[in-house]
Amino acid sequence: MGCFQSKTIHLPSPDNDPPPPQPKPDPANDEEFELVPPFKEFDLDELRAATNGFSSELIVSESGEKAPNVVYKGKLEKTRLVAIKRFSKQSWPDPKQFVIEASGVGKLRFKRLVNLIGCCAEGDERLLVAEFMPNDTLSKHLFHWEKQPFPWEMRVRVAYYIAQALDHCSTENRKIYHDLNAYRVLFDEDGDPRLSSFGLMKNSQDGKSYSTNLAYTPPEFLRTGRVIPESVIYSYGTILLDLLSGKHIPPSHALDLLRGKNLLLLMDSSLEGQYGDDDATQLIDLSSKCLQYEAKDRPDIKFIFSAVEPLQKQEVASHVLMGLTKTPVVLPTMLSALGKACVRMDLTAVHDILLKVGYKDEEGAESELSFQEWTQQVQDMLNTKKFGDIAFRDKDYKNAIEYYSKLVSMMSVPSGTVFVRRALSYLMVGQPELALRDAMQAQVCLPEWPTSFYMQALALSKLGMESDAQDMLNDGASFEAKKQNIWRS
């Protein structure tokens, strides 16, 4: 979701002629933004694990009556936060049709879109997976703001970026966007507005292309029940009305105000002093053109794009304009291989490291087992440990959990390594809450053991608790440094 910026170095030509002028780069259409993963079909178990079993605590939004759909915040192994939209089966009865349609949308890659990165159609489940946008919707910022009204320059930026997104979709032969409204515009971690890719999916079985109030629906859809490219222009016009007024005004009412030249009644009073009259008049005029009753009288997206582009005058970053605080993640200066693997959330690397280290970090743990009276109970305990270690080595995580759980109940002196190994096994089977509990138990066994802190950080990251994970990572690194200093001394 962030951008990894690369610099292009232009070498002088052999004859020392000045290099030809370079076209101004378009940050929305080059390779300077972070590449999202290629589109793929996910297993249902993978998405179930990503949402903690479709936990109600991770629901971001719900909508629909006949065919309800729910959007969850999820976290995929080794990657990133994602939004997972879960449809009911009646929305898409044919799983093949669903996958084909999702794959088509998934081919689009654009900075102004919330890119679709996967889908799942197993049994009755129909799910879409997209990038996660952490800074809410346009609806929230326009209509339900708490700290400050949405600034004029950001409103212009929304109009411009969404026009860019629609233009790109049109160029890629995706000219139909279903139900464009203020809920479909979301803000990424940089505060930049993006258009949700969910609206690019074709009309589903329930027959609804517009979930909003009929007062905002394109006239031709009311007449025919069909969506045409010009319908998208009409909906874009309603977005412009939202941006200008800060309210959700029915187009018919807005057009009455425009005909009566009551522009001040249309404009959001909180914007006073933020814009020039000419700029406001141009946007009002553009919205009026988009909202024409006859589809043929509306402008095309190229016209809209060219009309909005000159109004982009502010170069201040979006997160600054919106008053968002961006707290960069500062990694500790010293991290072991295990710490780095936990930051990457690379569970396979963590497994390899834990195998290599074995039990050697637990001073006296092995001798505790060796010097006990040799009874059948101790023999059973050693066998249980052996079978647990074999299962863990062979990545048979369910059996590892079973054997280690039995071992924990048998041991008089708890083992931090056993708790850590069981914690990783829980992560591997999609149970981060239990993993966190075990990592905390490992810390109880060995209070200054960096591994226990790193494992807590990993489990907390899986649970989406990034701030707490950062704290644990810092604590682990501190104890790592302390241990290194002791060895040097």
Report, as residue numbers or ranges, the catalytic residues. Answer: 179
Amino acid at site 428 = M
Strand order across the 125-131 sheet = 40-41, 116-122, 125-131, 81-87, 69-75, 59-63
Size of the chain, expressed as the number of residues it contains: 489
Burial of 244 (0-12, 13-18, 19+ CB in 10 A): buried
Alpha helix (H) residue ranges in 2-94: 44-50
User: Which residues, including other chains, have CB under 8 Å from residue 224's CB and lie 6 or more apart?
Assistant: none
Q: Beta strand pairing status for 116-122 and 40-41?
A: parallel
Radius of gyration of the chain, Cα coordinates, nearest whole angstrom: 28
Cα angle 30, 118, 138; round to 5: 65
Exposed e or buried b for every residue in 107-124, given b needs 16+ CB within 10 A?
Answer: ebbbbbbbbbbbbbbeee
**What is the C-alpha to C-alpha distance for residues 244 and 267, in angstroms, rounded to an integer?**
5
Alpha helix (H) residue ranges in 269-372: 277-290, 301-308, 318-321, 337-344, 347-357, 365-370
